[in-house]
């Protein structure tokens, strides 16, 4: 059984005002639903007051469902997508 987890928009260094934290836009998804990613691999790009920033995967997994579509306005802490943890068998095959 695979565990479903959320990919959240993390704190972005240099984005500190409450208005800026709520005024972030999804620019481009690097990974599509069903695609595998590794820990710290860029998954999505967002545009904040400081420019375009990559959001990296907190751990390895497979993108399950995109919740914030391209062009959507998002805020710090908001779930952007769900992902599935890899099963132990997949991890062993990759090593």
pLDDT, averaged in runs of 10, over the chain (95 residues):
87 91 95 95 96 96 96 96 77 51
pLDDT value of position 3: 83
According to DSSP, the residues that pair with 78 across neighbouring strands are none
pLDDT of 44: 98
What residue spans of the chain are helical by DSSP H?
Answer: 18-22, 88-94
Distance CA 37, CA 86 (A): 10
- What was the pLDDT predicted at 88? 55
**pLDDT reported for residue 95:** 52
Q: For position 86, what pLDDT does the model report?
A: 79
């Amino acid at each position: 059984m695979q565990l479903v987890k959320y990919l959240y928009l993390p704190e972005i260094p240099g984005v500190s005002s409450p208005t800026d934290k709520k005024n972030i836009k999804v620019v481009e998804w690097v990974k599509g639903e069903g695609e595998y990613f590794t820990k710290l691999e860029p998954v999505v790009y967002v545009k904040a007051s400081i420019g375009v920033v990559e959001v990296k995967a907190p751990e390895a997994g497979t993108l399950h469902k995109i919740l914030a579509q391209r062009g959507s306005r998002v805020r710090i802490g908001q779930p952007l997508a769900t992902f599935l943890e890899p099963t132990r068998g997949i991890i062993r095959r990759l090593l």
